[in-house]
Amino acid sequence: MMRLSDRFTALVLGGLLCCAVASAQGTEALPFIRIDRNPVSAGMGFAGAASTSATAYSSFRNSAVIPFSAKTMDLGFNYQGWAPSGVKNTNLNFGGAYKLSEKMGFSIGGAYQMGQEYDIFDASGHAKGSFKPSDMVINAGVGFLLTESLSLGVNARYASQGIADGVSLSAFCADAFLLYRMGGVNMTAGISSIGSSVKGDDGASYKLPASATIGVDWSTTFSDVHGIELAADADYFLSGNVAAAFGAQYGYNDLFFLRAGLHVGTGNAVLPTFVTLGAGVKFSGISINLAYLTANEVIGNTITAGIGYSF
């Protein structure tokens, strides 16, 4: 017989997904809000919505993971050389999560992206200066336990984008997730990047890259020194596109880590199909992580390098 908590979980998770899927479809704006800022999951195909291995960046994704984390505090800062072979951006990202108690914690985060500078010309074709596009994201989130095996997380986010001289876009959005833990398995479902429409310089309205999201994460340790983590996520975007991510991590003695992953995006999904590789080291609470994105002509050769501290 299904327990009351299991019924509650299924009911609310289904409700969250229905809310997102029932929303109207539209053209997506501010797509950079869906870039994975976490150097751990960046090495795992951007999978990890249900993972508690790096809660520092949970305000960008799912703060429901915080109450189940073994860490009291997790901080991170990283550099991303995004799409160096395409429309290059230099991204600086930070995040932090802190557990106030065994039942509640909060998260913060931010990102600043600097695009390639370009020349500006007047109507006669004469150069009149230059402009450097930039994007900014600021997040805050909270996660708390509803039962011993179920948590709720909510994030609030402000994003802005300067795309031309005197032309900028901005919007507020939010994430809401439930996470259910059963043994070594975490299962999560929710809505990502649900928010206001963005009005362009042409007067038209554009929707954010919102989606219904589900994820699962499984981890185990054997022979005391070998650790395995497997993660898979799926997003149904309100634009009608679908994305899925699959990742794996091997850890030796909780000291050295190797990672790999695959991200698949259909149609005009905000993030396309690509492969990732990653590695990390952790000692005395300090972690260093590297991730490399490849197998894509548009954003290939992207590198994420991060440092963190946790206790």
pLDDT at 310 over 70: yes
Q: Among residues of the chain, what percentage have pLDDT more than 70?
A: 91
Res 27: pLDDT: 66
Instruction: Write the pLDDT tens digit of every residue in 164-205.
Output: 877 889 999 999 999 999 989 999 999 999 998 888 777 788
Can you tell me the mean pLDDT for 65-91?
Answer: 95
Res 18: pLDDT: 37
Can you tell me the mean pLDDT for 290-310?
Answer: 97
Confidence grade of residue 6 (pLDDT, cut at 50, 70, 90):
very low
SS3 for the chain is: CCCHHHHHHHHHHHHHHHHHHCCCCCCECCHHHHCCCCCCHHHCCCCCCCCCCCHHHHHHCCHHHHHHCCCCEEEEEEEEEECCCCCCEEEEEEEEEEECCCCEEEEEEEEEEEECCEEEECCCCCEEEEECCEEEEEEEEEEEEEECCEEEEEEEEEEEEEEECCEEEEEEEEEEEEEEEECCEEEEEEEEEEECCEECCCCCEEECCCEEEEEEEEEEEECCCEEEEEEEEEEEECCCCEEEEEEEEEEECCCEEEEEEEEEECCCCCCCCEEEEEEEEEECCEEEEEEEEECCCCCCCEEEEEEEEEC
Can you tell me the mean pLDDT for 208-235?
Answer: 97
